[in-house]
Structure 1
Amino acid sequence: MRSSRRLAAALAVAVVAWAGSGCAVIPVGGPFPVDEAGGGDPMSKPFQRMIAVPPQPAWAPLQVVQGLQAAMAAYADEPDVLSTYLTPAAAKTWRPDGPVTVIANRPKYDYVGKSDGDQVVIRLVGTPIARIEADDTYMPYTGVGDISIDFTLVKDAQGGYHVQSVERGAGLLLTMDDVARAYRPTKLYFLAGPPGPSRLFAERRLVVDRVWLRVKPTENFAQTIVRRLLEGPSKALHGAVGSVFPQGMSVRSVRSDDDRVVVDLHGPIAPDELYTDGLKAQLKWTLNNNDMANGRTVEVQLDGEPFYSSDPFVIRADDMREDWLGSNVSPAYYVSKGAVRSLGDERAGNAVQGPAGQPNELYSRLAMSDGGAMVAARGTPAAGGGIWVTRVAPDGRWQRWIQGRQEDLTPPSWHRDGTLWTYDRANGTVLRCDPASGRGPERVAAPGLDGLDVTRLRVSRDGVRVAVTVGKNEVRVGAITGGGGAPMLGNFQTLTRVTDEEIRDIAWRDGERLLVLVQSKNAQSVREIYVGDGQSTELPATNKRLESISALGQRLLAATEGRKEILEFNQDKQGWVSKVDGGDAANPIFSLG
């Protein structure tokens, strides 16, 4: 630690030292307070920079291991220091690439086995939190228990210790404090639908890709964000979303003044009206929703010249049309004695038109299409099983679209394009029914689900992501790739896994947030999880046992067991209120989700 203190004194700035690490944390750029790091530039993010120092001959083995970990935290800004902690042979073979392992703060260290003085093994034991992948995806750890890493150190001719090997091989190891110091969660916006040069983006819809970006002292954070946007989506959305920015395009600079943000690009481009609409949407939403534009006009340039025409190409506030993100406004419904009824803000309403509004005992787990024109349901044994559909109209009638036993088919889920999806557990396959084609259900390839016990399948409202429950204890999220003509499900990753608990239901709030109803032996919880990085919030519980949930935007409805009623979560009061208490209310419904 003496080296860290000498460094701090020499720099004449306020220094926060990490005990035993041989590292110091100082504000980047000079002697100013930490909360002003970034120089007041609204397009920058405050952060602290790790200043690593090489190992000292007098350091004990434990100090060397702690110093190595600190040098890992500083690697992105000072890559040369880390190799000084390694033996020459280890420095030639060790690589910092691969996922970044994130562990809880204050890991434990201990000497392992006997030491002859020239070789020492120190074991680090820490609680794993997440991985940050090479594509900037933040993946929460879903396993159980701590991890341990053995560091083998040897003494050199001068009496100092260096690391000869690390048990888990290559890759950086950071604490949560390291990540909070140097990374920022960031929303990137891409266009719904598969990528391709001929895509017209006619639907004009955006999809959020949430990544974690490292703050760089060499450029403002707005430039970091645009640079990452041009690289394309993370692997979670590969093949499921597109971008107007072609390969080979780069960002020269992003600068700002009081009224505008100027994005200067370089590379091949052949704009037209549809292209420029998509460019406006991707850039404006990405900059604004990361607090980089803050309502200012965005001007796009190409190699310092006006983009697209001889006049300045600007993106104004009114170019951020809400329809690019889809609507979070939709009527709410619930089921009473098998009939679908509307649910107003204050009280229950009337039954919907047609067969879906008639009492019956033949159908369960009802779902409503986009716009509310169609209702789908899983048939009970009395109905002969299968998935049934009816129009919400006086002349509508129930028709069986998909055959199968009730227990073998997951509750139906509508896609925004009008197709209906379910999982056939008896045959281990995803089924999709497209009424426009006039054909029966088709199988959809989903190799990531092969051999799994899929118990629910829900398509997100943006029509891009899919959530499934596996057994009673796991949720996985994937994406619809391949386009409408030959779709497939891929890119599946575990979102959450529970132990000694059971997942009772799932529901999409929107395209990036999934609600999960979890039941333990004595309690329940509803967890809101961002599918991009697994960040989770637990909502306040109710003393009533919930059976199912449905959500849209900020609204969340739930049906209770026992005395059947519909509850709504009040955001302002952070509590549950009864909406329908008729003793037979069930199955709350919003369109899609």
Structure 2
Amino acid sequence: MGADREGGVRRRPVRAVVYAACGAVLLAGCASMPDSGDLRDVESTPRQDTQVRVFAMPPQENAAPGEIVQGFLEALTSDDPSYDTARKYLTPAAARKWRPEQGTTVLADGPSTESDQGAAAREDPGSLSYVLAGTRVATVDAQQAYAPAKGAYAKRLHLSRDTKTGQWRIDTLPQGVVMGKSDFQRNYTPVNKYYFASHSSVGPGGEPVAVADPVFLRTRVDPMTQVVRSLLNGPTNWLGPAVRSSFPTGAALQKGASALTPDDQNRLTVPLNGQAARAGEPQCAEMATQLLFTLRNLTPTVDSVELQGPDDRTLCELSADRAETVAWHSPAKGPGYLYFFDSKHRLVRIAGGSTSTTAVPVPGALGQGDKEFGSVAVSRDEHTAAGVSSDGTSLYVTALTPGGSLGSAVVTSTGTTKDDRLATPTWDAQGDLWVADRNHLDPRLLMLKQGSGKPESVRVPGLSGQIKDIRVAADGARMALVVEKDGRQSLLIGRIERDDTSGEGPAVVELRSAAPWLEEVTTMSWAGDSRLVVVGREQGGVQQMSYVQVDGSVPEGQAPAALTGVKAITASEDERVPLVAYSEDGIVRLPSGAQWQKVVKDGTAPIYPG
């Protein structure tokens, strides 16, 4: 703790109380409290164990103003659920007004603290101000939604000395919490909440489609209860217009509910209030499904959930296996095949989980090689394919069945060069096909419902630049776009709105950056419910491959192994499936825990369904 802070305040050892569930754990600058024994200051800082909770110490008697400021900032990075210790550094009035839950500002190196000695302070020895400063990298709002940020941060803290006790306390401060990047990474963890797409369903039974809504929770402050409360509070503002929740309005945990934990059978009982108890059995099954998808994203130990009403009556109980039949969840729908074009221009495929390098032509026209194609997309059910001709002028849709014909082009482009014509098409789970026409004289984003019929024009309000590539999420509620402007290629995420009541047709709205540090994006693919794999280059850097989250954060864990000359990449929302790339070495794949392996030397345009 405290590694991020520097500046005008004299540094002192951070004093905190730590409870270790097992074993002795050393924490940077913190005093450690095992099950027994005395407090002791320690010097080094290994990575904290997830079972360790860190609590800040209250202000010391007669602490100097700088120590009050430093102690308060340290307390913000502790595991105190309600920041009770941090409030002890404030005057009673300031403690009542301060709302830490309003959001978190993340700084590159933590807040520097400089005394602001103005004329007023010199005239009043019982009054003193400090300026907290730094460079912003992100914010987390009151809904726990993350967003990249930039620019300078400068906020003022004002301290006053109590005339009776002589103790310094903070009486004016900004709302929310501020901390450095490394403190944030230690104190917060990303979790996907799950809701259902408002205007999408899959299959003959009309299964609702699960949509991930990423948030950040405090890692060691009862995260299971935190995420349940967050789920019940509803989706984040950005995603909200595209999704629905099966929980009735006003549904919440019962008063006093906390420390939700699975029992010895890995079943979690969730006590809900009267509003939630009004749900019927089908609705309750959807509620339990939302909970299971969310909780299993946080921890794989939850195998079932039981929803209880106020009178301890069981509303419904659902297993994880059953949840996968209630709603369509893309990570559970792994690809049947990997597809690519071979040296004879045929669309061929290899079983998705296979280590084989032997590919066979798909049934139908695309497997015959009579026409050369530059890119292809296979529908999520793997019954239909959409191919763009090698010159980029024409889009064809054909069934992957024996005897399937190519037919006429369903979309054509009049761009002057291949790069100004049709981009790689993309399918969502509902069966709708999307394609971008990059013609700079007549740029278009188009959707073909069920891959057929007249293409609908898709509005992109607020777009600044030209769309170069798109990938729709399986849920059909979000789209990733590569947009070029002034020689820079940015990766953006937009929310898909399908409501036709306005008469204006579908739209991709509220574009936001998913990788603001990249100035060139070569290729990208969805690689999870809220994660993409991107090949790109930072300013002044070299091409590299990395994972990014749709909210612009960088997921924990290692980036994919380096690969040179990457021209295309494909991944699946099922993260167990290997990455596959088209590089100077041909078609290669990256199994988990292994190095890149060659599939075929002569092949192009690899894709998984979608």
TM-score by length of 1: 0.77
Letter in 2 for 1:294: V
Shift of 1:81: 4.9
User: Of 120, 130, 146, which residue of structure 2 is paired with 1:138?
Assistant: 146
Query: What is the Cα deviation at residue 350 of structure 1?
Result: 2.7
Which one of the candidate residues 518, 529, 546 is aligned to 1:511?
A: 529
User: After superposition, what is the alpha-carbon deviation per residue over 1:207-245, rounded to whole angstroms, capped at 9, x for unaligned?
Assistant: 33232223686xx54333322221122234212222211
Q: What's the offset of the Cα at 1:462?
A: 2.8
Q: 1:387 to 1:256 in 2, by over 3 A?
A: closer
Deviations 1:322-361 (A, max 9, x none): 7742311321111135431223532232322333234467
| Identity percentage of aligned residues | 23
Aligned to 2:313: 306
Task: Write the distance in 2 (CA, Å) between the matches of 1:31 and 1:205.
Answer: 51
Quickly say closer, same or farther: Cα 1:371–1:285, change in 2 above 3 A.
closer
Q: Is the 8 A contact 1:195 1:241 kept in 2?
A: no
Distance 1:453 1:2 in 2: 50
Candidates 183, 194, 198, aligned match of 1:193: 198
Equivalenced residue count is: 545
Alignment correspondent of 2:513: 494
1:481 to 497, 518, 530: 497
Letter in 2 for 1:364: G
d(CA) in 1 for partners of 2:235, 2:33: 32
Tell me the residue number matched to 2:6. none
Contact 1:364–1:380, Cα closer than 8 Å, also in 2:
yes
Per-residue CA deviation, residues 121-160 of structure 1 (Å, 9 max, x unaligned), is 655454544321111113344x4xx745254656658687
Q: Distance in 2 between matches of 1:435 and 1:216?
A: 45
CA distance in 1, matches of 2:376, 2:394: 13
What is the rounded CA distance, in whole Å, between the counterparts of 1:319 and 1:137 in structure 2? 29
Q: CA deviation at 1:518?
A: 1.6
The answer to whether structure 1 residue 247 and structure 2 residue 252 are counterparts is no
1:388 aligns with 2:396: yes
Q: Is the 8 A contact 2:339 2:608 kept in 1?
A: yes
SS in 1 for 2:436: strand
Which region of structure 1 is more displaced relative to structure 2, 524-533 or 412-421? 524-533
Measured after TM superposition, the shift of residue 505 of structure 1 is 0.3
- CA distance 1:555–1:399, shift in 2 (3 Å): farther
Change (3 A) 1:3 1:128: closer
Q: How does 1:84-483 map to 2 (within 5 A)?
A: 85=90, 96=100, 98-104=102-108, 107-110=111-114, 117=122, 122=130, 124-126=132-134, 128-141=136-149, 143=150, 147-149=152-154, 151=156, 153=158, 156=161, 170-176=175-181, 178-179=183-184, 182-194=187-199, 202-214=206-218, 220-252=222-254, 253=257, 254=260, 257-259=263-265, 260-268=267-275, 269-291=277-299, 294-295=302-303, 297-308=304-315, 313-316=316-319, 318-321=321-324, 324-326=328-330, 327-337=333-343, 338-343=345-350, 345-359=355-369, 363-379=373-389, 381=391, 385-393=393-401, 394-404=403-413, 405=415, 406=418, 407-425=420-438, 426=440, 427=442, 429-435=444-450, 438=453, 440-447=454-461, 449-471=462-484, 472-482=488-498
The alignment status of 1:63 with 2:79, answered yes or no, reads no
Distance 1:178 1:292 in 2: 26
1:581 equivalent to 2:601? Answer yes
Q: Is 315-324 or 205-214 further displaced after alignment? A: 315-324
> Which moved further from structure 2: 320-329 or 416-425?
320-329
CA contact (8 A) 2:14 2:74 kept: no
- Residue in structure 1 matched with residue 4 of structure 2 by the alignment: none
Three-state SS of the structure 1 residue aligned to 2:282 is helix
**Which amino acid letter does the alignment assign opposite residue 65 of structure 1?**
V
Q: CA deviation at 1:522?
A: 7.1
Which deviates the most, 503-512 or 344-353?
344-353
Contact 2:375 2:390 in 1 (8 A): no
Q: 1:16 to 1:155 in 2, by over 3 A?
A: farther
CA distance in structure 2 between the partners assigned to 1:328 and 1:335 by the alignment: 21
Q: Residues 233 and 201 of structure 1: is their aligned pair in 2 closer, same or farther, counting only changes over 3 Å?
A: farther
Give the secondary-structure state (helix, strand or coil) at the position aligned to 1:305: coil
Contact 1:467 1:475 in 2 (8 A): yes
Q: CA deviation at 1:8?
A: 6.9
Shift of 1:173: 0.6
The 2-side partners of 1:317 and 1:374 are apart by: 30
CA contact (8 A) 1:430 1:444 kept: yes
- Unmatched tracts of structure 2, length 5 or more: 1-9, 19-23, 40-49
SS of 2:423's equivalent in the other structure is coil
The 2-side partners of 1:128 and 1:551 are apart by 32
Corresponding residue of 1:50: 55
Give the direction of change, closer, same or farther, for the CA distance of 1:503–1:264 in structure 2 (3 Å limit).
same
Letter paired with 1:363 = F
Partner of 1:541: 562
CA gap 1:288/1:350 in 2 versus in 1, 3 angstroms: closer
Query: 1:341, 1:348 within 8 Å by CA — same for their partners in 2?
Result: no
> Could you tell me which amino acid in structure 1 is paired with residue 512 of structure 2?
Q
* Contact 1:505–1:548, Cα closer than 8 Å, also in 2: yes
Q: CA contact under 8 A between 1:188 and 1:208: conserved in structure 2?
A: yes
Shift in alpha-carbon separation, 1:5–1:331, aligned structure 2, 3 A: closer
Amino acid across the alignment from 1:430: L
Letter in 1 for 2:285: D
Q: Is the 8 A contact 2:14 2:71 kept in 1?
A: no
Q: Alpha-carbon deviations, 1:26-55, whole Å to 9, x = none?
A: 779x86999xxxxxxxxxx74524335358
- Per the alignment, residue 570 of structure 1 pairs with 591
Hey, what's the Cα distance between the residues in 1 that align with 2:91 and 2:412? 63
Give the residue type in structure 2 aligned to 1:535.
V
Per the alignment, in what secondary structure is the counterpart of residue 224 of structure 2? helix
RMSD value, Cα: 4.2
CA distance in 2, matches of 1:285, 1:150: 39
Query: Would the alpha carbon gap of residues 437 and 318 (structure 1) be closer, same or farther in structure 2, given more than 3 Å must change?
Result: closer
Q: For residue 406 of structure 2, give the secondary structure of its aligned residue in structure 1.
A: coil
Offset, 1:247: 0.8
User: How far apart are 1:162 and its partner, in Å?
Assistant: 6.1
Look up the SS of the partner of 2:476 in the other structure: coil
CA distance in 2 between counterparts of 1:292 and 1:234 reads 24
Taking a change above 3 Å as real, the CA distance of residues 205 and 157 of structure 1, as seen in their structure-2 partners, is closer
Deviates more, 1:92-101 or 1:462-471: 92-101
**Partner in structure 1 of residue 44 of structure 2:** none
Q: Could you say if the C-alpha distance between residues 315 and 343 of structure 1 is closer, same or farther in structure 2, counting changes exceeding 3 Å?
A: closer
In 2, the alpha carbon distance for the partners of 1:95 and 1:125 equals 20
Deviation at 1:401, TM superposition (A): 2.0
1:358-405 deviation per Cα after TM superposition (whole angstroms, max 9, x unaligned): 446753222112233322233455x7x243323334241243222322
